[in-house]
Amino acid sequence: MSSGRQSVVRGSALTDRMHKDLDLLRRHVTLLKVVEEHQPIGLIRLAKRSGYPQHRVRYTLRILEQEGLVLPSQKGAVTTARAKRFREKLRVLLEEMKRTLESLKDSL
């Protein structure tokens, strides 16, 4: 049996969107963390440090900027005070989701 994303329900409209959204959230959070740890950081360096291709990094930076979590600077992206609050709220939300997923799993 396969593990992780290659589960039995791959290809299902019921689960594919969830996988895509989680992958996107993982990338956004990973890149936010790299910016926090290495700021200011430019696109090329951010792509190298994260392992994501530049076009995906560029898209994520745009999203993080729209959310008010990063700002561009002459030397590269920097985080805002809002980034820390976002991570704290996300941690709480993920705990809630974890409980929801456990309950759903138990009901199967």
CA distance 56 to 47: 9
Query: With bands split at pLDDT 50, 70 and 90, how would you rate the model's confidence at 12?
Result: confident
The answer to the question of residue 57 being in a domain is: yes
* Count: domains in the chain: 1
Residue 22 placed within a domain: yes
Q: Is there a domain that residue 96 lies in?
A: no
Q: Within a domain: residue 107? A: no
Helix (H) or strand (E) holding 53: none
Whole domain around residue 22: which residue ranges?
16-80
Which residues 6+ apart lie within 8 Å of 64 measured at CB?
Answer: 28, 31, 32, 35, 70, 77
Q: How many whole angstroms separate alpha carbon 48 and alpha carbon 44?
A: 6
* 54 and 35 Cβ atoms separated by less than 8 Å: no
The closest alpha carbon to 36, from 63, 60, 69, belongs to: 69
40 within domain boundaries: yes
Q: What is the pLDDT of residue 77?
A: 96
CATH at residue 52: 1.10.10.10
Residue 85 resides in a domain: no
Q: What is the pLDDT of residue 93?
A: 95
Q: Is the pLDDT of residue 105 over 70?
A: yes
Task: Kindly report, residue by residue over 49-79, the tens digit of the pLDDT.
Answer: 999 999 999 999 999 999 999 999 999 999 9
